[in-house]
Each structure stands twice: as structure tokens, then as C-alpha cells.
Structure 1
């Protein structure tokens, strides 16, 4: 669980609610079902129109990364690469075939399979780099769906406000009902701006960060596998991968 993400959302919503209350507002007045349906439904519909099915599904699968971050320990990963190196030097690349077939990380499994199959170091590097580049772009494209939602949401909120004003005008002869209708209409604008700046755009940036962390982890695995192919010693491989150690204890995994 990413406690900072949860805390950030709570702090943002609480600050707005408390500030509104201190100004004399009634918190219950901010809840309006029709306005929420217009803004949220319109925003989701717009991004569905512009996004491919595969990207939209990937975005949904990635959403939990904002608050829940399954991870690998970077130190354990380096030790794992060192064990692969020891095994390859002592028993040959074919000894890593079981690892390639059973490893839980698809990218690592493919790298080990290429290593077992033989081939030049350059071919191995080119293949892993292309896979890494394409996977990064696919994941970032999914994260950018939330950016699009952050762009559409305020505009849909204005649309909802206009629709509310049209409805409020039916009470033009009753100033009391007209005032209440106008106030309700502007709640759609609040929803549009609030969802964009408190949820959609922050989620997009957090997902991009998660993607880059995952790519860094895979880049480290690629460098380790390439170093094994180059015949480097486990000690040299560890020294090479030291650069990937970071202060946080783990990196995200899909």
C-alpha cells in the first residue's frame, strides 16, 4: 500500500471540505448525483472514444499501482543475477533453462531464454532493448489515458453547469428556486475541476513514475543477463549493477 498516495488524497479532500465549511458552506450541498453522472460519465465516454480497447484495458489493470505497489527487492534481484552468473560459469548456459521456463517475470524469462539459445551479445542487447522500449511506450500510453481524462473533465464540468443553468431558468419566476438551481448547476464545474486536479492528473503522474521504476528494474535485469553473456564474473556483475541501487528498498513490478 502506497501510504503517501492515500494520505495525499485524504489531505486534499479534507482541506477543501474544511475550508468550505469554515466559509459557512454546507458540505452536503456539494453532493449532487446528476452532476457526478454527467461529469464522470462524459469524461469516461470521451476517453473511450479516443482510446484503443487494449490500451483502455491496460489502463484499468494499471490503476491499482497508484495505491498498491507490488515490488521486487533490488538487492535480492542483484543476488539473483549473481546466482545465474555462477551457474552459467560452472554448468553452462543450458543450466539456466529451468529458470527461463519458470521465472515469474516475463521480461527476465525472455532474456534468459535468449541467453540459453546462444547468439551474439549484440543480438541479445538489441532484442532486450527493443522489448524494453516497446513495453515502456505501451505502459506510458495507458498512463496517458488519465492525462486525457484530466483534460476532458473540466470541460465536461462546464457542459454540466450549462445544462444545470438551462434547467434553473425554468424557475425564472421564483427567485428562491432559481438561486438554488444556479448553485446546484455550478457543482458540475466543481466536480470537473476537482476530479481533474485532485485525481486524474495526479494518478497519471504517479503511474508514469511507476512505469519508469519498472523499466529501471528491467533495465537492470537486462544489463545483468548481457553481462553473463559477455562472460563477466559475478563480482564484476555486482559492481556494475550497484548503480541501480536506490534509497528506497524496492522497485515496482507488474
Structure 2
């Protein structure tokens, strides 16, 4: 789990609840199940209507990626690429098949198997670039789904507030409950704005950044595999890949 992201979510909740407490409010004043249902389900419904089913499913998976382990080990991968080059020069490209079996990353494994098959640098680039670009575009589409939900949530919050006010105005015969009823109605607005600005939009932006970092990582791996196919020596490969270190 990405503890930094998890801490950020906790801090967002603490900011809202802490601010409410300092203003003399109570937690129960912010609890409103109908408002939560309107904002959350309405926002999800809008995203489902807007986006293809595969993009919505990908967005759900990307939420797990945003809060999971997602660091790309650039330095460690450079060391592995150099080691693969050493193995290829000493034992031949066929020896990389054992290295491919150790890899859990499908992209890296596919690249190594292309080397084992004796494919040239141009073929390796052409094959892996399709996978690299396709994965990037699909994940960016998923991030856009989450980002669009951040645009819908505040509007759904306003709808929830208006519905609450309608309910309050229909009970004018009980003046004593008007103040509490109006306050409760505006909880939906807090839910909508808070969900958008403290969760959905930040998460969408984080996913975009993760996609960019992964693209750079896979591009580095691709370059390294091409250098091996071209017969570059290990020292030269290491020096040329240093520019990818963050």
C-alpha cells in the first residue's frame, strides 16, 4: 500500500472534521445517508452513462493502483539490463530465456523473449512500442473517467441540497425544525465538493503521473533491450541509461 496516499486521505478527513469541530460543530451534523447516496451513486451513474464499460472497469482497477505499491525501480532495472547484456555476450541470446522466466512484468518478459527469438532492434521497438502506447492510452482514459467524476460530484451535491430544501419547505408547519433541516440539506454540498476536490481529482492526477512514470520506465527497458540486440557493451548501456534515473 502507498502509505503517502493513504495518509493524504486521512489528512483530508482530519481537515474537514477538525475544521468543523473548531467551529463548534459535531460529527453527527455531517452524517446524512440520503445526501451520501445522492452524491456517490449519482456521480457513479453519470460516469457510467458517459464512458464505455471497459473504461469504467479500468478506472476501478486504477483506484487500486493509485493506493497500492507503484514505485518503478529505475536503478535496479538498469542493473538488470546490464546483467542481461553480460549474459548475452558470454552465453548467447538464448541464455536470456531463463532470465525471462524470472520476470513478473509482462512487458519486460515479452522483450526478453523477442531477444531470445533473435529479433532485431527495429522489430523489438515496433512490437513493444505498440504495447507501451496502447497501455498508456487506456490508462489515461481510465484516469479521465475518475477526473470526470470529480466534475459531476459538486453538481450532485447541489442537487442533494436542493432536494433537502424542498423537503424542508414542505414542512413549514414546524418552524422549530427549519434551521436544523436547512443545515442538514447543505451537507450534500459538502459531500459533493469534498469528494471531488479531496479525493477524485487528486487521485486522477496521481494516476496520470503514475502512467507517465511507467511509460518512462518501459521506454528505458525498451532502449536497453534494443542496445543488447545491437550488441552494445555493458558499460556503454549503463552510461546511456543513466539519464532515466529520477
**TM-score, length of structure 2 as denominator length:** 0.93
Q: Describe the SS at the equivalent of 1:144.
A: helix
Preserved CA contact (<8 Å) 2:161 2:187: yes
Preserved CA contact (<8 Å) 2:88 2:96: yes
CA offset at residue 101 of structure 1? 4.5
- Paired residue for 1:68? 68
Q: Distance in 2 between matches of 1:14 and 1:160?
A: 24
**TM-score, length of structure 1 as denominator length:** 0.90
Q: Describe the SS at the equivalent of 1:172.
A: coil
CA offset at residue 102 of structure 1? 4.6
> RMSD value over aligned CA atoms?
1.7
CA offset at residue 242 of structure 1? 0.9
Deviations 1:52-107 (A, max 9, x none): 22222222222123332244532221111112111211222222223334521110
Preserved CA contact (<8 Å) 2:17 2:27: yes
Q: Distance in 2 between matches of 1:4 and 1:120?
A: 42
Deviations 1:171-213 (A, max 9, x none): 1122222222221111111100110000100111111111112
Matched, 1:96 2:71: no
Q: Distance in 1 between matches of 2:101 and 2:50?
A: 38
CA offset at residue 139 of structure 1? 1.2
Number of residue pairs matched?
246
- Which runs of 5 or more residues in structure 1 are unaligned? 247-254
Q: Distance in 1 between matches of 2:146 and 2:162?
A: 25
Q: Describe the SS at the equivalent of 1:171.
A: coil
Matched, 1:7 2:3: no
- Paired residue for 2:119? 119
Q: Describe the SS at the equivalent of 1:232.
A: coil
